[in-house]
């Protein structure tokens, strides 16, 4: 049936909203959180309830315009032309069972709300660094957290999900009721159904303690080696992130950091002070700035300076199976080279701990990898809209010899597919699950091209 009449009829049926290209609000509604990515959907829906979602699925089947759930578009891939984008903001329930350490979270809820609700409870959320990423988008894509060495990937914490299938059925799914669907939801969520709510494990954190040590770039090599060596015996209660940053030489920058390079090591323990481990890094260089003491995920999120408003950005990421001395030198030399100015930072996250022993079966797994790296390529106002192709390619060349067999789906960039996140058998299994639940492609193919 012709597209527009089907969408107009659907719009008249919905309790929520369907914004079409002729509407004034369309351009802003169609924009993803990552403003560097352009999207050309044929509609943007804000369903009010499950019946609205059913109407949208029927319209997709009738019109041939697939449904693409995109809570906010931090992970926008630029492949949504011709789709109806569905934003889940109305699905905003949040219930926390503190005694059991379990949360039931609607798929429109962002991590910030969960982190805030848990402050002082003795539990932390298996959340990523951005408070404005949705719990669903993150968890259904694997999700690597501040606390992943302690609690595993976000998807490993997914106990159950309320799923609307393409055939219109809506129920609670867990490992007993539908093990194949649960396996697929843990990392490849968007391709097998619409999740309306999730039941997740929280991470036990009796005493959150943190240390943040900043060193001058001249110490970077020694510092990163010392951090790398911690991985051998760090307990899973300790989580470690390293950021090697070069601030732009731009007038908007505060003078004390303009054009400067430095490396910051962040250690987060869920079980009180980790001074002995931190000392092994502290004495590898000369500390320029240090903060340490009891903290909370809310304070960590506030200090992390992640952008909370839609922002254009590019990046590249890599899961590594090793981080040897030669690779550390190559990475630092690469990032310091003046031609690589578009790469403002390289973040390094220590893996291992609970990540090495997933508790639940799932498509997403980073078992066996040791480090998760990401290169940050911000796009500044007035600059070219797509800087850094050569730098991103250069970063990928530097890390290529140490690449782990698979990475976390939430770390994929535009155009990358789930084939980078699982072996051939897993990807085949995913296709089989999808073919069973969505044989005619009512849901957008997402990162699993048909």
Ligand X SMILES: Cc1cc2nc3c(=O)[nH]c(=O)nc-3n(C[C@H](O)[C@H](O)[C@H](O)COP(=O)(O)OP(=O)(O)OC[C@H]3O[C@@H](n4cnc5c(N)ncnc54)[C@H](O)[C@@H]3O)c2cc1C
Q: Where on the chain is the footprint of ligand X (CB under 6 A)?
A: 33, 69-76, 88, 107, 128-130, 133-134, 136-138, 140-141, 143-144, 189-190, 194-195, 306-307, 408, 410, 446
Cα–Cα dist 93/118, whole Å = 15
Cα–Cα dist 141/321, whole Å = 21
Cα–Cα dist 295/401, whole Å = 37
Using the minimum distance from each CB to ligand X, give the nearer residue, 70 or 264. Answer: 70
Using the minimum distance from each CB to ligand X, give the nearer residue, 79 or 219. Answer: 79
| Whole-Å CA distances, 156 to 318, 333, 344, 348 | 20, 36, 31, 21
Q: What's the min distance (Å) between Cβ of 326 and ligand X?
A: 27
Q: What's the min distance (Å) between Cβ of 72 and ligand X?
A: 4
Residue with tokens 């089989």: 432
Strand order from edge to edge, sheet including 17-19: 17-19, 43-46, 84-86, 67-69
Using the minimum distance from each CB to ligand X, give the nearer residue, 288 or 417. Answer: 417
Q: What's the min distance (Å) between Cβ of 40 and ligand X?
A: 16
Using the minimum distance from each CB to ligand X, give the nearer residue, 87 or 228. Answer: 87
Count of CA atoms in the C-beta half-sphere (13 A) of 351: 25
Helix, coil or strand: residue 242:
strand
β-strands 345-350, 371-378: how paired?
Answer: antiparallel
Phi and psi at residue 443, to the nearest 5°: -90, 145
Using the minimum distance from each CB to ligand X, give the nearer residue, 22 or 305. Answer: 305
Helix, coil or strand: residue 101:
coil
Cα–Cα dist 298/357, whole Å = 27
Helix, coil or strand: residue 388:
coil
Q: What's the min distance (Å) between Cβ of 56 and ligand X?
A: 12
Q: What's the min distance (Å) between Cβ of 270 and ligand X?
A: 17
Q: What's the min distance (Å) between Cβ of 35 and ligand X?
A: 11
Q: What's the min distance (Å) between Cβ of 412 and ligand X?
A: 8
Using the minimum distance from each CB to ligand X, give the nearer residue, 88 or 281. Answer: 88
Q: How many whole angstroms from its chain centre is CA 130? A: 8
Q: What's the min distance (Å) between Cβ of 446 and ligand X?
A: 5
Which two structure tokens, joined as six digits, stand for 417?
């597919």
Q: What's the min distance (Å) between Cβ of 283 and ligand X?
A: 29
Using the minimum distance from each CB to ligand X, give the nearer residue, 219 or 438. Answer: 438
Partner residues linked to 241 by β-bridges: 266, 349
Q: Which of 126, 70, 94, 162 has its CA nearest to residue 364?
A: 126
Q: Which residue is nearest to ligand X (CB)?
A: 190
Q: What's the min distance (Å) between Cβ of 136 and ligand X?
A: 4
Using the minimum distance from each CB to ligand X, give the nearer residue, 221 or 438. Answer: 438
Helix, coil or strand: residue 366:
coil
Q: Which of 135, 131, 172 has its CA nearest to residue 157?
A: 135
Torsion-angle region of residue 78: left (phi > 0), alpha (psi -120 to 50) or beta?
left
Using the minimum distance from each CB to ligand X, give the nearer residue, 138 or 285. Answer: 138
Using the minimum distance from each CB to ligand X, give the nearer residue, 230 or 443. Answer: 443
Phi and psi at residue 269, to the nearest 5°: -110, 145
Residues 442 and 66: beta-carbon distance below 8 Å:
yes
Using the minimum distance from each CB to ligand X, give the nearer residue, 259 or 307. Answer: 307
Q: What's the min distance (Å) between Cβ of 64 and ligand X?
A: 19
Cα–Cα dist 296/133, whole Å = 19
Cα–Cα dist 19/42, whole Å = 9
């Amino acid at each position: 049936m012709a597209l527009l009449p089907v969408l107009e009829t659907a719009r008249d049926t919905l309790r929520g909203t369907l914004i079409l290209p002729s509407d004034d609000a369309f351009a802003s509604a169609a924009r993803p959180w990552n403003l560097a990515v352009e999207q050309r959907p044929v509609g943007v829906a804000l369903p009010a309830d499950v019946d609205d979602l059913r109407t949208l699925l029927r319209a997709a089947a009738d019109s041939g315009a697939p449904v693409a759930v995109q809570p906010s578009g931090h992970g926008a891939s630029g492949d949504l032309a011709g789709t109806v984008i569905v934003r889940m903001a109305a699905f905003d329930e949040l219930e926390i069972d503190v005694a059991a350490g379990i949360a039931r979270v609607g798929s429109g809820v962002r991590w910030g709300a969960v982190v805030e609700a848990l402050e002082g409870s003795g539990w932390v959320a298996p959340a990523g660094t951005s408070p404005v990423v949705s719990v669903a988008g993150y968890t259904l894509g694997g999700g690597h957290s501040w606390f992943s060495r302690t609690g595993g990937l976000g998807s490993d914490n997914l106990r159950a999900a309320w799923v609307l299938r393409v055939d219109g059925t809506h129920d609670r799914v867990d490992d007993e009721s539908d093990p194949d669907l649960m396996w697929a939801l843990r990392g490849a969520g968007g391709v097998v159904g619409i999740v309306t709510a999730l039941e997740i494990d929280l991470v036990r954190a009796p005493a959150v303690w943190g240390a943040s040590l900043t060193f001058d770039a001249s110490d970077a090599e020694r510092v990163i080696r010392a951090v790398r060596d911690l991985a051998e015996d760090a307990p899973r209660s300790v989580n470690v992130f390293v950021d090697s940053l070069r601030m732009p030489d731009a007038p908007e920058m505060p003078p004390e950091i303009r054009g400067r390079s430095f490396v910051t090591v962040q250690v987060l323990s869920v079980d009180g002070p980790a001074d002995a481990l931190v000392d092994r890094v502290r004495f590898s260089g000369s500390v320029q700035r240090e903060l340490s003491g009891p903290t909370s995920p809310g304070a960590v999120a506030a200090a992390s300076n992640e952008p909370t408003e839609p922002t254009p950005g590019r990046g590249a990421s890599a899961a590594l199976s090793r981080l040897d001395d030669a690779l550390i030198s190559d990475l630092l030399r690469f990032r310091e080279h003046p031609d690589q100015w578009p790469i403002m930072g390289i973040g390094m996250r220590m893996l291992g701990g609970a990540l090495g022993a997933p508790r639940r079966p799932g498509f997403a797994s980073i078992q066996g990898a040791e480090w998760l790296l990401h290169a940050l390529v911000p796009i500044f106002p007035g600059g070219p809209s797509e800087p850094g192709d050569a730098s991103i390619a250069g970063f990928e060349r530097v890390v290529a010899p140490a690449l782990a067999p698979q990475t976390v789906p939430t770390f994929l960039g535009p155009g990358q597919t789930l084939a980078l996140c699982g072996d051939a058998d897993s990807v085949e299994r995913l296709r089989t699950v999808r073919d069973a639940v969505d044989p005619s492609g009512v849901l957008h193919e997402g990162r699993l091209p048909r």
